[in-house]
Every structure is written in C-alpha cells, then in structure tokens.
Amino acid sequence: MKSFLISDNRDTWVGMRLSGIEGVIVHTKDDVLEVMKAAILDPDIGIIILTEKIVDLAKEEIMDYKLKLKKPLIIEIPDRHGTTRGADVITNYIRESVGIRI
C-alpha cells in the first residue's frame, strides 16, 4: 500500500517526495476534489496525506470522506510553518464526528 500527498506548497511536496511519498500540488477546491476522487479510487493508495490549507479549501467534502470511508485513511498534517489549528483540535474532531462532548 502506498501513501499519497495532496499539498498546497512545494516545500511539503519535496519533503515527502524525498521520503518516497508521491503527491501533487494543488491550489483550488475543484483541483482538490478531483485529485481526492482519483486517489480514493486507486486501490494501491492506503493513506492520503493532506496539508491543513488543503483541508481548509474543501473541509466539508473531506470530512465527509473521513467519516464514511474505511479506506484509504485520510490524515491532515501541518506544513513547514507549523499548525494553524488550536490546541484542542482532536477534541473538536471527536465532538464533530461522534457528537460526544469530552
């Protein structure tokens, strides 16, 4: 199984490429959704890695994929500048996904 990166910047793409992870750089919501659909349909891809800014472009659609799909695993990473999310991002994700307040 392979990992695949969808990034908004070249630095993250180059870093992942050096570790053997292929990917693309996109800048629009339409491009994000198009690449996501292709990656989801590829049976060799087991993990889709998205930068935070990419998730911000298509948050609702990506969250829908995360909640409904068993494969591939969709994860969000910060870019080289660090995270823009708050400290309680995991708690918020659980609250939105399951509806349980922790």
Instruction: Decide which of 102 and 43 is more confident.
Output: 43
Residue 99 has a pLDDT of: 67
Nearest CA-CA partner of 49 in 81, 90, 15: 15
Q: What is the pTM of this model?
A: 0.79
Of 36 and 79, which is predicted with more confidence? 36
Q: How far is CA 63 from CA 1, 15, 55, 59, 80, in A?
A: 22, 25, 9, 6, 23
Is domain 2-98 given the CATH code 1.20.1290.10 in the classification?
A: no
Q: pLDDT at position 78, please?
A: 83
| Sheet strand arrangement including 22-25 | 22-25, 2-7, 45-51, 73-77
pLDDT (0 to 100) of residue 101: 62
